[in-house]
Structure 1
Amino acid sequence: MARKGVHVGHQPAPVKLACDAAKARRRVPDSSCPAVKQACKTLAAAKEETQHYAAGLLAYGGLLFAAGAAAWSLPLLFLVFTAVCMPWRAVSFYRNKWVFYLIDFCYFVNIATAVFLVWFPNNAQLEALVYALADGPIAGALVAWQCPWVFGSGEHTVSVLMHLLPGLAMFAHRHCTPSGLRGWQGIAQYAAQLLHGHIMPTGSVPPASYPQHTWLWLVAAPLLFYIVWQLLYYLVVQVLFRSFILRNGYETSYICLARRAAKNNNFWNRLVRRGSITRRLLVYGGLQLLFTVICCSVFLPTYFSFPLAVAYQVVKVVFPVYYGSRYQMTKVPQHVFLKGIQVYHEVHSDMQQQQQQQQQQQAEEQAAAEAVAAQRKAAEAVRLRRSCATEAACACPPLAAMPRQVMA
């Protein structure tokens, strides 16, 4: 096939054929270029973030579907979540020196909820106690601490679910779970039903029960549970392991909250930070106790009213989603902008380093070439001297070969 081109002056214009375009498409960029390396890293990070976001959306959609279509399954979902995420969090916190977060109040309440659902599902006193803790201070922390449900972050998703699922599980256990799905025996029976293809659990939902001395188990027992935990937390963090925490740089909830409060510099920070360390700890513990009392007071009407309990569960879901959307609109663009600046500086420094390496390599190659040229010149000079010496020896014969007359 002949190439066709337009001639301008004496030079023909270059013409690209289909084969040339195919060759151009098959060219692979140089993987050693810093920009290419950074682009590959950015694409890999974006892919991973997309996968995390999809997993977060799946968890959110699955939770809403379970709450609307099969509310009786919420206790099972909570138990599965606890069995999977508790060990994962323990390993993750151990690696990041966050292991003292595992003695926070929410972990104790999650464990108490799991123990009640598995071994004491029909104990009305423990139900009132655990329900007050799960839907009281633990659920109230979602609003008080403005916990955002960021779908692309596994840490945010697990944190929100740890504060959200215990109350949902206790609500479903009280109002929606049939008798054939309560306790470890009911769970084992339901697992056998699933093996035979039966999805719906057996039995009917028993009416909500109220313990004797209701106010004792709804108010006094949760506060006693909180006080015992607070004393245990103080003993572990501020007495037994205080020097170990400060020496090795471990994080605790008190340190984290103090840092956040100092950053915001609000009224609560100024109130807590006045005076000595003992006063700070007492004020901090007193404020947490007051927060627990307020949350339990908000929970009490929902314990006696099913419509109020349903509305409260909706509020618990709406607030984290709202905080998460606000986080996506404000924090994520800032992180992307800062990440872009960081990537620019990294690429710029990598390119400068690569240019310096190329210049150094060129200088070394030039020095090597000059050394080779000098060796060649020296070898040529030696060869020329030897050639001249040989020619001189041929032009002047030895003395023994000269005629005797000349010698005489």
Structure 2
Amino acid sequence: MLFCAGFTFIPLTEWVMIVHPHRFSYWYTASILLLLSWRAKIFTAKKWHYFLLDFCYFINAMCLVYLALTHLHPCPALFRVVFALSNGPLLVAIAVWRNSFVFHSVDRVTTTLVHALPPCLTYCVRWYPVETDGTPVAAHRALDAYGSIDWSDILVNSMAAYFLWQLAYIVQTEVVFAKQLEADDELLTSLKWLSRDRTGAMYR
């Protein structure tokens, strides 16, 4: 059942991107909310919920915030930041962390999609913001699609977003929840996991 669901999801995603790219935002929203809800439930049960503070989830949260805000007004600066981060570090992370579609593993499929769906979303928003007849799917979002992304978006705004996340992450793990993390050795964060993974780069 899980294998069939995972295997079917890929061609369905391709179909939406090819046939209805201007509506991919709806597919993304439904998919990522379902996947993250499942992951939050599983990770909480395993005491892995602090992994949900990682950068990849932050970018997905930014994507959802962007989609929500653009129903009210344009957010060109936010779109450019999301575009740069989604198609930069998040996309590269698929290769770095060796993400793969192992269809009988919901966990691996979810991890891959968390990294792969935002680039697909920003691609569709950027190049397919209107219906086939030229009608904008979301008028404010269509305005954000025009123009170009310059180096300030990549080197300044995107890095500012990254440092904002990093600061928030440190405050959460080293200050707010520091006592809980120290008291319960089963509670894991990314840094804890990396420090214990003797096959990883930290031990080489």
- State the TM-score, normalizing by the size of structure 2: 0.85
- Residue equivalent to 2:146: 209
- Residue equivalent to 1:80: 30
* Counterpart among 82, 85, 99 of residue 130 in structure 1: 82
- State the one-letter code of the partner of 2:111: S
- Residue equivalent to 1:243: 179
- State the one-letter code of the partner of 1:142: I
- Residue equivalent to 2:125: 173
Taking the TM superposition and a 5 Å limit, the aligned residue runs for 1:17-56 are: 51-56=1-6
- State the one-letter code of the partner of 1:134: S
Compared CA separation, residues 155 and 207, structure 1 to 2 (3 A): closer
Q: Is the 8 A contact 1:175 1:207 kept in 2?
A: no
Match status 1:117 vs 2:67 = yes
Q: Is the 8 A contact 1:132 1:218 kept in 2?
A: yes
1:219-258 per-position Cα deviation (integer Å, ceiling 9, x unaligned): 2011111111112211221233233113222011112222
- Residue equivalent to 2:192: 255
Q: How much has 1:206 moved relative to structure 2?
A: 7.0
Q: Is the 8 A contact 1:66 1:73 kept in 2?
A: yes
- Residue equivalent to 2:52: 102
- State the one-letter code of the partner of 1:257: L
Compared CA separation, residues 123 and 206, structure 1 to 2 (3 A): closer
Taking the TM superposition and a 5 Å limit, the aligned residue runs for 1:185-224 are: 208-210=145-147, 214-224=150-160
Q: How much has 1:215 moved relative to structure 2?
A: 2.6
Structure 2 residue runs of 5 or longer lacking an equivalent are none
Partners of 2:172 and 2:143 in 1: CA distance: 42
* Counterpart among 93, 113, 116 of residue 161 in structure 1: 113
- State the one-letter code of the partner of 1:238: E
Structure 2 residue matching 1:263: 3-state secondary structure: coil
Q: Is the 8 A contact 1:56 1:152 kept in 2?
A: yes
RMSD: 2.4
Q: Is the 8 A contact 1:118 1:182 kept in 2?
A: no
Q: Is the 8 A contact 2:81 2:153 kept in 1?
A: yes
- Residue equivalent to 1:232: 168
- State the one-letter code of the partner of 1:62: L
Structure 1 residue runs of 5 or longer lacking an equivalent are 1-50, 187-204, 271-408
Residues paired across the two proteins, number = 197
Q: How much has 1:146 moved relative to structure 2?
A: 0.9
* Structure number with higher relative contact order (C-alpha < 8 Å, ≥ 6 residues apart): 2
